[in-house]
């Protein structure tokens, strides 16, 4: 299954929830004109500034849930972005 997620590339504000996740892939909940919505590790839905992330495609082919399906920060064994 293919889905979209976010790779955090930067964090301009050290107080944002994803400040410690630069370089990590996080779930994409939805995209708006000025920001992305993602799910924090604590489970809350929160924004990611578009300047701080890029859309990436994730591929889960063995039927297990990965971040694109569950919205959780879990690694998928078949996701090349997580290896």
- Domain regions of the chain by residue span: 2-77
SS in 3 state form for 15-36?
CCCCHHHCCCEEECCEECCCEE
pLDDT tens per residue, range 31-77: 999 999 999 988 899 999 999 999 998 876 655 555 554 444 444 44
What's this model's pTM, rounded to 2 decimal places?
0.73
Can you tell me the distance from the alpha carbon of 80 to that of 83, in angstroms, rounded to the nearest whole number? 5
Can you tell me the distance from the alpha carbon of 22 to that of 66, in angstroms, rounded to the nearest whole number? 19
Query: What is the per-residue pLDDT for 67?
Result: 54
* Domain over 2-77 is classified CATH 2.30.30: yes
């Amino acid at each position: 299954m293919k889905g979209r997620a976010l790779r955090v590339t930067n964090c301009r504000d050290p107080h944002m929830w994803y400040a410690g996740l630069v370089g990590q892939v996080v779930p994409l909940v939805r995209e708006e004109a000025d920001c992305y919505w993602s799910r924090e590790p604590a489970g809350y839905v929160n924004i990611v500034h578009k300047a701080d992330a890029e859309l990436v495609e994730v591929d889960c082919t063995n039927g297990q849930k990965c971040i694109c399906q569950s919205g959780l920060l879990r690694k998928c064994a078949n996701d090349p972005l997580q290896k």
